[in-house]
Amino acid sequence: MWDLTRAELRRFRWWALAALLLHLGVLAFFTKLVDLLQQPRIVYQVGAACYGAIGLLLGAYQMAGYRRPNTWLQLLHRPLSTSHIMSALVIACGLLLALAIALPMVITLAGQLSLTARVVDSRHWWLPLAGWLIACGAYLAGAYTMLAPKRYSWMVLVAPLLLYFGDASGVSAISVQLLALLWLLALLAIAFKPDLTAEPSSSLAEAATAVPLQLAIYCVLALGAMAFQLGLVVVGKDPLNGKTSANTYLDAARTKSSDLLTAGLADSAHPEAELWREQAEISEVAMFSIDFEALPQRHELTNIAPMEFDDDERQIRWVFSHDRMRYQGVSLRERRREGELGVGAEGDAFPLPALALGAERLVTARTIYDYDTHTAQLHPRIVLPIDETLAMKPDTLGAAAVVLSDRALYVFDGRALARSNELIEPRLRFALPGRLRHMHSVSMMELLDGYLVSIIYGRGSVDGAFDSWQTIWQLRPDGEATEVARRALAHDYPMTYRHYSWWISPAMHWLSAQSQALFSATNPLEQRDRVDRPRAMVWLASCLMLISLVASIWMVRTRAVPTARRWPWVLVCGLVGAPALLALWLLRPERQLPERSSASAVRAAPAGRT
């Protein structure tokens, strides 16, 4: 086994060495220009895509050379078991990828820690492992694509995509990558057999292959919604790119704030509605939208945004450290350390990771801080309740400052926020009537005795199953809020399109959502309402599952399905629907009927006359 491993290492050693030098050179070049550890998430995602492409190409190239009949026979004709041969090839490529991907990252981190004043946290040392796991997972996917039957080998590429769209962060993201790697390794072990055209032999192997195959088919079927929208674009009837109907969500989203108030108050029975409509045409109506869909989490591997800001007066760049939970100073002139920056005069640690909104203001999930460049101190200015999460940076409406959390809208004294460094209390608190995740925008107009607040809900209704509406509230100086108008907003797309990802397979819709949320922490800013599916969509999904059930009964008799697995397949097709039926069609070939013997068709020749 180890001889085969060494042979594979010798085979690719020069390629691995060239990749190591090239990777190290690229990292050194960009490290000279910018601090790679403080880049936004998109930079990490591009890097992960490059590592995945390298692993995918390596796996495809290696197994494409071995899968030729004569070469495959020679490979397996060794005094080793098939599992040991596969392990030797996989271990060799794992070491090669560690040399080409993980080692340059470790060298770069060590150099940045020892030779520069930049911040290197413990979370950054997980990045080489994460990059290596992504490359190894893509390698296994490429190898499986070459060895498994071509009818369904492509489905394994869905696993790396699930990693790309997953919500887990930090060590949890490493756990998701490790779980995907183990599943891909099991799939490769199933496909690595003497007869590459043979189907999975055991029930467990077939189940391990069928589950990701069904999920991949579901993802392909879900692209039908994109094809439908593309068709609307071609004919010029797509609401997102063209004219929308009146009183729809997209129409409201494109309407300016004053016209929104006028439209929302049109059918209001409140005695002052007509006066407010006239006032909206001449007064200032401010519109606020959500600024944060997520905020930094401690020890996450990537950054939502660069966690640093510059003090131009002192010529110091402050970089947040997750280990110290304080900002580390770096001189912009001498490029050396310049102390730490914490909260208040004592420099206390931040309770949560802080995100800079410029050189004068920072935020955490529950606190807004102001930075005083004269004293080089951070002062907490606004603190939300412990069960709320900040969703919007402070904005102004006249002399007031408005702040939005996931549960409430706050009104503060704008002059006090701008002039002092003290902690300020809100003048008014308005509890939101719906989930922040579904909110599009908030419009506010100042009245003689309070404010008029208009909220548009419907985010996620364009290509989702949520309703949309506009609600208008009168917020009085004593904090009392009264709803004065409410209007339902029509949907821009038909019902079948909005529920499409669910009714094609409710089971796979649930599984894909669970896969994306695997090991992820709860994000209060992304909490959604429970979806009530219309009865018509429930009947449509039920009919599709029934059709799949009936079709599977016929299919298991015409495909090469072992007798003991026929009824489990029928049950799965009835529960999952079309993805399971298509997986059965791809996974199991047609049954080959035995040919008749030609000897039985020979007839005796008739006797001739004399």
State the CB neighbour count (10 A cutoff) for residue 240: 13
Q: What is the pLDDT of residues 525-576, one digit of tens each?
A: 888 888 888 899 999 999 999 999 999 999 998 888 888 889 999 999 999 9
State the CB neighbour count (10 A cutoff) for residue 20: 17
Q: Where is 224: in which H helix or E strand?
A: helix 224-235
Q: Which residue has the higher pLDDT, 70 or 27?
A: 27
Instruction: State the burial class of residue 245 (Cβ atoms within 10 Å of its Cβ: 0-12, 13-18, 19+).
Output: exposed
Specify whether the CB–CB gap between 90 and 188 falls below 8 A. yes
Specify whether the CB–CB gap between 441 and 391 falls below 8 A. no
Model confidence at 395: pLDDT above 50: yes
Closest CA to 401 of 381, 386, 387, 421: 381
In this structure, of 161-170, 283-292, 523-532, 560-569, the range with the lowest mean pLDDT score is 161-170
Proportion of the chain above pLDDT 70, given as a percent: 95
Q: Where is 41: in which H helix or E strand?
A: helix 41-66
pLDDT for res 251:
87
Mean pLDDT, the chain, integer: 88
Q: What is the pLDDT of residues 36-64, one digit of tens each?
A: 999 999 999 999 999 999 999 999 999 98
- Helix, strand or coil, per DSSP, at residue 441: strand
Strand partners, 337: 330
Rounded to 10 deg, the angle between the 41-66 and 69-76 helix axes is 90
CA 510, chain centre distance (Å): 15
Tokens 């200015």: give the residue. 381
Tokens, residue 173: 């993201």
Helices (H), 517-606: 535-558, 563-576, 578-587
State the CB neighbour count (10 A cutoff) for residue 41: 14
- Helix, strand or coil, per DSSP, at residue 371: strand
Number of helices followed by number of strands (H, E) in the chain: 20, 17
Integer Rg of the chain from CA: 31
Tokens, residue 201: 């032999």
Q: What would the mean pLDDT of 71-83 be, rounded to a whole number?
A: 81
Specify whether the CB–CB gap between 250 and 239 falls below 8 A. yes
Model confidence at 185: pLDDT above 80: yes
Specify whether the CB–CB gap between 413 and 424 falls below 8 A. yes
Cα dihedral: 124, 125, 128, 133 (round 10): -100
Closest CA to 162 of 137, 127, 129: 137
Q: What is the pLDDT of residues 409-444, one digit of tens each?
A: 999 999 998 888 889 999 999 999 999 999 999 999
Q: What would the mean pLDDT of 508-530 be, rounded to a whole number?
A: 86
pTM of the shown model: 0.87
Specify whether the CB–CB gap between 462 and 240 falls below 8 A. yes
Q: Where is 18: in which H helix or E strand?
A: helix 2-33
Q: What is the pLDDT of residues 210-248, one digit of tens each?
A: 988 998 899 888 888 888 888 888 887 888 777 777 888
Distance CA 380, CA 363 (A): 9
Q: What would the mean pLDDT of 265-269 be, rounded to a whole number?
A: 88
Distance CA 139, CA 16 (A): 14
Specify whether the CB–CB gap between 528 and 438 falls below 8 A. yes
SS3 content of the chain, % helix, strand, coil (to 5): 50, 20, 35
Q: Where is 65: in which H helix or E strand?
A: helix 41-66
pLDDT for res 383:
94
Tokens, residue 318: 């402050």
What SS3 string covers 234-294? Answer: HHCCCCCCCCCCCCEHHHHHCCCHHHHHHHHCCCCCCCCHHHHHHHHHHCCEEEECCCCCC
